[in-house]
């Protein structure tokens, strides 16, 4: 299947590299308003460059379009792509507002187009194994969970482009970094019922937040905490999710949440636990998440099914972030 990329910034290179690794895929075109940023894709992948999206959609034989622009532009581009009857893979967050998200989802439904959102952390081996543990009921009833993203993004990171750190096109640590972990928290814990959050902009010269602390009550009655920042000195410190159940406690962690830091389950033997830990250590990253997303979209089209991470999944993660923002602004709990 033929792929195209819209928006040739940093994340687009991950998309291009993932497409190249898939036998059934080829990058045929790229689109960006700045011609020089497309030179790499023309030279490396023989992709044809376009400065106008309409021209690319009309002239190229494209099956799937990857949207890698700043988040605030996702909706307008997605509608144009959907109306051209091309399937869509959109980077996280799916959009900056629920209204824009619904516009994207509805445009894809009307035009019978498949829509996938890039939440690649779901496909890390340790995350897949934790999901199996939860699905098998090995943790029993869950009391609470903890989600931590304490990373470093220095001022130079935000100064790379004028849209970084803005509320309109990028958001802060919750929207841009921790949204992956919030997606996992929802995937593990179910729907949120109520949130309360406080946030601040402590170190970075940006419009949005660089540190956020929040709590969640899930509809199951379980509770959750979220701690996220880009203020950590001098580099990424911790990315983790810990789940506490009546029959087990599991923490996936490290600086990028790719290992079992703690695994203690009543109905698993010590040998089973050690074998699982060692298997994850042997290949902690597995198949890159972006490659998973691309391959899954190709297969979803062939098999006539939904992609693994749907527009509705992207909407849920976005809605949780926006609820945290609303709570911090109003200094009160928000009912979802």
Beta bridge partners of residue 3, listed in sequence order: 27, 64
Task: Give the contacts of 55 (CB within 8 A, at least 6 positions apart).
Answer: none
pLDDT of residue 255: 86
Token look-up 């695994």 returns: 263
Domains observed in the chain: 2-120+290-308 (3.40.50.720), 122-286+318-335 (3.30.360.10)
Query: In degrees rounded to 5, what are phi and psi of residue 59?
Result: -95, -25
Q: Name the pairing type of β-strands 211-218 and 248-253.
A: unpaired
Is the Cα torsion angle 320, 294, 91, 54 positive or negative in sign? Answer: negative
Q: pTM (2 decimals)? A: 0.95
pLDDT of residue 200: 98
Task: Give the contacts of 318 (CB within 8 A, at least 6 positions apart).
Answer: 93, 94, 95, 98, 101, 179
Ranges of H-type helices in the chain: 10-20, 39-45, 53-59, 74-83, 98-110, 125-135, 155-158, 173, 179-189, 270-282, 289-303, 311-330
pLDDT of residue 14: 97
pLDDT of residue 233: 97
pLDDT of residue 268: 97
Q: Which segments in the chain show pLDDT lower than 50?
A: none
pLDDT single digits (tens) 20-29: 999 999 999 9
């Amino acid at each position: 299947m033929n792929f195209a990329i819209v928006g040739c910034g940093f994340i687009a290179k991950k998309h291009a590299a993932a497409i190249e690794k898939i036998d059934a895929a080829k990058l045929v075109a790229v689109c960006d308003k700045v011609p020089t940023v497309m030179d790499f894709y023309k030279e490396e992948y023989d992709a044809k460059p376009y400065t106008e999206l309409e021209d690319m959609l009309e002239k190229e034989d494209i099956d799937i379009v990857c949207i890698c622009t700043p988040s605030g532009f996702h909706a307008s581009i997605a509608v144009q792509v959907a109306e051209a009857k091309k399937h869509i893979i959109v980077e996280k967050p799916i959009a900056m507002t629920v209204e824009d998200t619904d516009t994207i989802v509805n445009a894809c439904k009307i035009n019978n187009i498949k829509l996938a959102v890039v939440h690649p952390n779901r496909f890390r081996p340790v995350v897949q194994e934790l999901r199996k543990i939860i699905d098998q009921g090995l943790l029993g009833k869950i009391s609470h969970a903890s989600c931590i993203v304490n990373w470093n993004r220095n001022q130079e990171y935000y100064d790379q482009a004028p849209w970084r750190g803005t509320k309109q096109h990028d958001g802060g640590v919750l929207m841009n970094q921790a949204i992956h972990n919030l997606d996992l928290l929802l995937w593990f814990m179910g729907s949120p019922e109520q949130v309360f959050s406080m946030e601040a902009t402590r170190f970075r010269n940006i419009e949005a937040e660089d540190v956020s602390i929040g709590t969640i009550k899930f509809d199951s009655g379980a509770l959750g905490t979220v701690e996220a920042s880009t203020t950590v000195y001098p580099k990424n410190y911790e990315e983790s999710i810990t789940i506490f159940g009546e029959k087990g406690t599991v923490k996936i962690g490290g600086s990028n949440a790719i290992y079992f830091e703690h695994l203690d389950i009543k109905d698993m033997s010590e040998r089973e636990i050690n074998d699982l830990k060692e298997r994850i250590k042997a290949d902690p990253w597995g198949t890159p998440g972006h490659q998973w997303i691309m391959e899954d979209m190709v297969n979803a089209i062939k098999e006539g099914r939904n992609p693994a991470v749907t527009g509705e999944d992207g909407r849920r993660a976005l809605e949780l972030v926006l609820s945290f923002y609303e709570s911090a602004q109003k200094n009160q709990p928000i009912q979802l």
